Amino acid sequence: MADEDRQIKDKLLAELGERSRKVEGMGGEKNIERQRKRGKLTARERIDKLLDKGTFCEIGKFAASRGTAFGMNEVEVAADAVITGYGRIDGRRVYIFSQDFTSIGGTLSEVHAKKIC
């Protein structure tokens, strides 16, 4: 039974890792490259530049839009186009959000707004 439990755990951890990498990929490499060509940082890059190194803890990473209009129920939007969490600036704890233009232009939705508030 222990081997079976370990296999299940390993499979679930692999799935979680894959989901995490997908979300961290934001709106995809094509959209990230377009953002960089405009001389702009991605949402994650902005957070990394602002916060003390290694202090960011993301909240709501796997939040998903509940919208159905305009075919949104058929589209996956990484972190619902906003990265939220907390970290430190000069050692002081701060809460932060960064709208992700690479994911549907950083458009505000119900879940997006709830993550910020």
Pairing mode of beta strands 92-99, 82-89: antiparallel
Number of domains composing the chain: 1
On whether the CB atoms of residues 102 and 27 are closer than 8 A, the answer is yes
CATH number of 56's domain: 3.90.226.10
- Cα–Cα dist 80/64, whole Å: 5
pLDDT tens track, the chain, 117 positions: 688 999 999 999 999 999 888 888 887 888 889 888 999 999 999 999 999 999 999 998 888 776 666 666 666 666 677 899 999 999 999 999 998 877 766 566 777 777 877
Range of the domain at 24: 2-116
- What phi and psi values does residue 46 have, to the nearest 5 degrees? -65, -45
Q: Is 52 helix (H, G, I), strand (E, B) or coil?
A: coil
Sequence-distant (6+) residues with CB within 8 A of 59 are 84, 85, 86, 115
pTM: 0.74
Task: Evaluate whether 78 touches 61 at the Cβ level (below 8 Å).
Answer: no
Rounded Cα gap, residues 109 and 64, in angstroms: 10
DSSP state, 27? T
Query: For position 113, what pLDDT does the model report?
Result: 75
